[in-house]
Structures are given as structure tokens and as C-alpha cells.
Structure 1
């Protein structure tokens, strides 16, 4: 049994009943499809939102993704967790939505390695953790789409650069440089927000 790190509800106690629900959904059972939607919608909405940075767009992508999930359910073969399979569809739909919205989302030039994220806050910083997290959240949402997408996939979703290059259809070096640039930009933005409110 593989360990699921995708933050979806597939703990050990759900594995067998989940398989039954999936099989029922494959046979067209609407209640089973609804159960799958309820189990995964919130986590997948969060994934779409982290990529798209717009709640309405994320909701639209979520709906499109689940339509796709249910139309392709017969293709699901249990080689990965169901959550990972759904997440891949959501990520692909999110990327497609970004590409439609902005033709040139992804930047291609390599850059020097970025500073570590921790340097965004000085050791003398006495602000509380909530304020720091708020600054980080604000900076993340101010990033250009390409940076935010790579940063979210790497730092928040746990994908490595090889996986990101496959998902986004970019070079590994581009993923690395965009992550580096995203980190530098977040550091700059958080420092700017600290000094200028």
C-alpha cells in the first residue's frame, strides 16, 4: 500500500469503501459520483486556487475537472491513488485555464540561485507568526502566474522539478529558475510590504 501525500481523504480506513464507491461511479451511479465529489472537491478547489489565484476561475476549473474525471472514470486503473489521479486532472485543467487567460504565462530565462525563503524576515523581526503568514500569502498572490504556478506546485503541492516540467511542458531548468525567481520575488515583496504596509 502506498502512502498518500496529496492531502486528500484517503486514509487507510477509506481504501476499501473508496474502491467500492469508485466502482459504483464507474457503473454510472450518481450517488457514488456525488460522494467522490464531496470527498475531493475542497482539496482540489484549493489546488486550482493556488495555481489560478482567482476564486471564480478555480471554481470553474473544478467543475470542468470533475466533468472530465467522471467522463474518464473507466480509465482509472488504481495504479495511483484516486486523489493523485484527480489532482493531476485539476492541475492540467488549471494550467490550460492559465494559458487561455495569458498567452505567455511562463518565463524561460534561467537566473542565478535565489535566496532562501527564511531571509524574507530578519531574525530581529518581532511580528507574530500570523502577520508573517499574511505577508507571505499576500506576496504569493502578487506573483506573476508562471512564478506562482511553479512555486505552488513545488512548495505547496510537493512536486519535484522533473514532475513540474512534465506537467507544465517546460524544461527542468525553467522550473528551477522560475522557483528561484519566485522565491526572490516573494522575499522582495514581503520586505516591501513590511516597510510600506
Structure 2
């Protein structure tokens, strides 16, 4: 697992773990993670206020207890920061989306994962796993992933169920039955 490669006893390890919790647990986009400010996090409410893709206003996102704990641990360990950003680099500047991509890729290498792992692939896997766990409830997954267009989310579900391949087999079998008759 990706989180196995994180040394959570270090400050940067705590940061990376908190970011991965957001990417996985809440299917956040990398720009959403990097755009967060400390003031967007409300531990007592178990909530995060986030400006989603294409949105003008921030919207509330409910957080799991493990995610709240991970972010709280990161904030407690980061000390004084001049940056308002929730996630900062070792130079105390807002973490860039490119740097988040590099961090995720590096963690994948440490974990022994040979294929390319990106923040978006974590988001995609999170949504697909949710569809597996909730019996394919696309409306629930749409709300969780904050996809405006249901058709976008349906692609995740189609890939998960391998619907195109099943349809091709069904049609091929139907032709074989006609040929036999």
C-alpha cells in the first residue's frame, strides 16, 4: 500500500499522510488539496471547506475521523508558518500541484509499486472502490466525488464493471446461437 512507505514520525511524513487521506478518503483533486488553507479545516466539525473545480464559493466536505486525526497531527507538528496554506513545502511555501504529483510518485516507488501512481489515479481508485463497496450507487459516488456531470462518473462505473466487454460477449454469443439454429 502507498501509505506503508510513509514515515509518520517525521513532519513531512505527517503532511504526506494527511494529503493521502484527503486524496483517498474524499477523492479530492490535486489542485483542491494544494489550494486548501489552514482556515478551511474545522476539526471540531470534522469538516473542510473547499473550492471545488469550477466553483466560485467554498463548499463543506465532511471528513472521516481518521482524516481529521491525520490533518490535526500534521498541523500540530508543523509549528509556526507564515503561509496560510494547509500543506506547505519544507521551505514553508504552498505546496504546488506538481510537487504533490512528485510526492505521490515517490511514495509509490518506496512502496514498491511499479506502475505510475498520481493524485488523479488515487482519486479514480477511490471513486471506483466506493462504487464497489456501495453496490454501484452512482448518485452517492457523484456526491462524494463532486462530479457535476453524472456521465463523467458513469465512465468510472462502466470501467469497473467492464460493461463494454460484457456487452461484446453477449452480442457474440447471440450471433453464435443464431448460427447454430
When the two structures are superposed, what TM-score results if normalisation uses the length of structure 1?
0.28
Structure whose CA Rg is larger:
2
Tell me which protein shows more strand as a share of its residues.
2
Question: More helix by proportion, 1 or 2?
Answer: 1
